[in-house]
Amino acid sequence: MNYHKALMELSHSPAFINRERQHKLAALTTLCAEQLEVERVSVWQFPEQREHIESEWLHTPDGANAKATSLYKSANPEYFSALESERVLSVPDAQEDPRTRAFAPGYLVPRGIRSMLDAPIFDGARLSGVLCLESTTRRQWTLPEISFVIAIADTISLMNTHEAWLDSKQALEYATRYDSLTGLLNINSLRDRVGYLVEKLERRGLGTLALIWVDVDRLKSINDGLGAQVGDNVIEEIGQRLKQINVPGKDLLARIGGDEYALIIRNRTDPDTLEQTASRIRHEVSKPIRLNGHSITVGVSLGICHLPGDCSTTEELLRGAEAAMYNAKHQGRGRFSFFDSSIQVSARSRFELENDLRSAIKEHELDVFYQPITDASGSSVESVEALVRWHHPERGWLSPIEFLDIARGGGLMYALGDCVLRRVCEHWQWARNRQITLPEVSVNLAPEQVLVAELPRRIKTMCAEQDVPVNTLHFEVTEDAIQGDLNAISVLLEELVAAGAQLSIDDFGTGYSSLSRLKGLPFSRIKIDRSFISNIPDDEDDCAIILSILGLAKGLGLSVVAEGVETAAHEQWLRRQGCDYLQGYLYSRPLPFDQLVERFFTSQ
C-alpha cells in the first residue's frame, strides 16, 4: 500500500484544501484509519498551561466527533514525559507498557485498546499536540506505518502553521520582525526601534537610552548534555521571564541571537537604577528551570551601554553593549559590566575584524575548503561539501566559527555566500580546463540568502558567467533557513531545482518544525546532524532517532547523509542501517582545493 501517495492525493486536492479545519481532521483521521486498518484515530492538543491534553477530534468505526476528553499529566506522568522526550511513541502492549499503563483502568481496558502509536503535532517549533492511533488488537508497528503516521501528524502541524498565519494580517512582517522560537522581536526590530529613539533624542535634545545585552551562560553544555530541544526550551523560558519582568524604563525586549537578548531602557538610566535592573534580571533568570525531569539552572552575563555618553549612534550602542557583555564574561560569567574606555579596545577589535571581513568579501579574498562525501562503503567520493575559510593577513587561517557571527551581525551573509559560490565556480572551471572531473559540489545557503527572492537569478547568472552547469551544484539549507514565508521560500527553492540544482536539509534532527515543512519543499536529501552520530552505536536514543530519520527519508523518497562519521564503528552501523552517504574525519578533514584534487582526483 502506498500510504504517502494516498496522503499526497488527499492533501493536495481542492476539496481538502478549501475545507474548514474539522473537515480536514475528519478526512485525515479517516484516511489513517482506513490505510492502517485501525479502529480509533484521534487528534489531541495541549492547552496553554500544558498540564493536560484534550481531544480535538476522534474517528471511530461508529463515526467521528469533536467531543472534548482530557487526560491529565498528574495522573499520567510517564506518558507526558515520554511525549516530551521520545516524541514518537510506538507501544505494542499499551496496557502493560510503563509509559501508558496508567491509562489502562479508566481508558484502555473499557475501550478494549491493546496497542497505541502516537506522533507529535507542532505549532511552529512548539509541541502542540499528538496524533494517536489505538488498536483493539496487539500490533507491532512497522517503520512504513510509523513514517505514514508522522506524515499525517506533520500535515496537521502544517495546518496549524497555516492557520496561525491566516490569523495574522501581517504574516510576512511577523516573519521578518519577530523571532520564531520565542515570539519576541528580533534584531531588525531592535535596530529600527533604537534608530527611531536616537533620532528622537537628537531632535528634542532631551532624554537618555541604555541598552542591556543579555547572554545566557552554559547553553552549549546544556545542548551537548541534554540535547538541542532542551536548549531551545531553555531559551524560550528565559525569553518569557525577561518579557514578564517589570523594571524601570523598560521599552523593548528582543532576541538578537542564539542565546542572546537585548533590552532597551529609556530615561531611567542612572547607574544605581541600571545596577538594580541588572541584578533583577540575573535573579529572575537564575531560578531553576524544570524540563523533562531535569532541574536546570543557568546564569547570564550582561553588558550595559549608554546613549549619549558612551556613544552617539545606533550601531555604536549595540556594539558597546555587546563589548561590555563580553567583558563581563571574561570577568567570570554571571556578572554585568558597564561600557567604558577600558573595553573600547575590544569593541574596536571586533569592529575592525568586521571591516576586514567586509573588505575580504569585496576583494574576493575568502577561500573554500572541501570535505568529501562518500558512498555507504566509505570508499568512493560521491560529492564534496564547500566550506568557507578566511586567511586573515594578521591572524592567519580563520574557521567559520571565528567570523560567521560577525558576518551575520554586520549584514554580510548574503555577500559572503555570493563570494563562496564564485570561488566554487572558479575551482570547478579550473578542474574542467585540466580534464579533471569533479563530483557534485554541495554549497551551504544561509537563512539570509534564502530570504532574498533574487537568489536563483543570481546563482544562474554567476554559473553562466563561469560556464558552470547549475546541475553540478547541490545546495544545503538548515532548518532555520525555512522558518519564514513558506510560499515565498517554496517558490525560490523550486526555481533552483528547475535550474538543475539539488537541495538538502542540513543538520537534520536538531529541530522538529522541518518535518511538517519538508513535504512541501523540493528536497532530495537529508543530512543527519553530527550530534546524533558521535555516540552510536552505544547510545540507544541516538540510534532510535537515526532509524526514525532513515525510515522517514525512505518513505519520502529521500537519500540520507550522515555527518560527523569519525570511527569504523560509526561507519559499520550506519552502513548496516542503509544510510546512503557518509561524511566525516574518518575519510578526510576539509582540504584546500589543491590538496583535494591531488588526493582524490589526480588519478583520473
Looking at residue 591, its pLDDT comes to 93
Check if the beta carbon of residue 409 is closer than 8 Å to that of residue 354: yes
Average pLDDT over residues 70-94: 86
pTM of the model as a whole: 0.49
Q: Running DSSP on this structure, what letter comes out for residue 136?
A: S
Looking at residue 429, its pLDDT comes to 92
pLDDT tier at 489, thresholds 50, 70, 90: confident
Average pLDDT over residues 415-423: 92
**Residue 486: pLDDT over 60:** yes
Looking at residue 588, its pLDDT comes to 92
Average pLDDT over residues 495-507: 89
CATH of the domain at 183: 3.30.70.270
Q: Is 257 helix (H, G, I), strand (E, B) or coil?
A: coil
Looking at residue 334, its pLDDT comes to 73
Which triple of cell numbers denotes residue 33?
A: 484509519
CATH of the domain at 423: 3.20.20.450
Could you say which of 117, 152, 167 is where a domain stops? 167
Higher pLDDT, 514 or 493: 493
- 345 in any annotated domain: no
**What is d(CA 436, CA 390) in angstroms, rounded to the nearest whole number?**
26
Looking at residue 514, its pLDDT comes to 46
Higher pLDDT, 425 or 453: 425
**Residue 192: pLDDT over 80:** yes
Average pLDDT over residues 193-201: 88
- The residue type found at 419 is C
266 and 326 belong to one structural domain: yes
Q: Running DSSP on this structure, what letter comes out for residue 513?
A: H
Average pLDDT over residues 315-334: 81
147 and 210 belong to one structural domain: no
Range of the domain at 23: 3-167
Cis status, amide bond into 308, omega within 30 of 0: yes
Q: Write out pLDDT tens, residues 521-572.
A: 888 898 988 888 888 888 887 888 888 888 888 878 889 999 989 999 999 9
The total number of structural domains that make up the chain: 3
Looking at residue 512, its pLDDT comes to 42
**Residue 345: pLDDT over 60:** no
54 and 106 belong to one structural domain: yes
**What is d(CA 410, CA 433) in angstroms, rounded to the nearest whole number?**
37
**Residue 22: pLDDT over 50:** yes
Burial of 324 (0-12, 13-18, 19+ CB in 10 A): buried
Looking at residue 346, its pLDDT comes to 56
**Residue 513: pLDDT over 50:** no
Mean pLDDT for the chain overall: 84
- 352 in any annotated domain: no
CATH of the domain at 51: 3.30.450.40
**Residue 244: pLDDT over 80:** yes
What values do phi and psi take at 538, rounded to 5? -80, -30
- pLDDT > 90: percent of the chain: 27
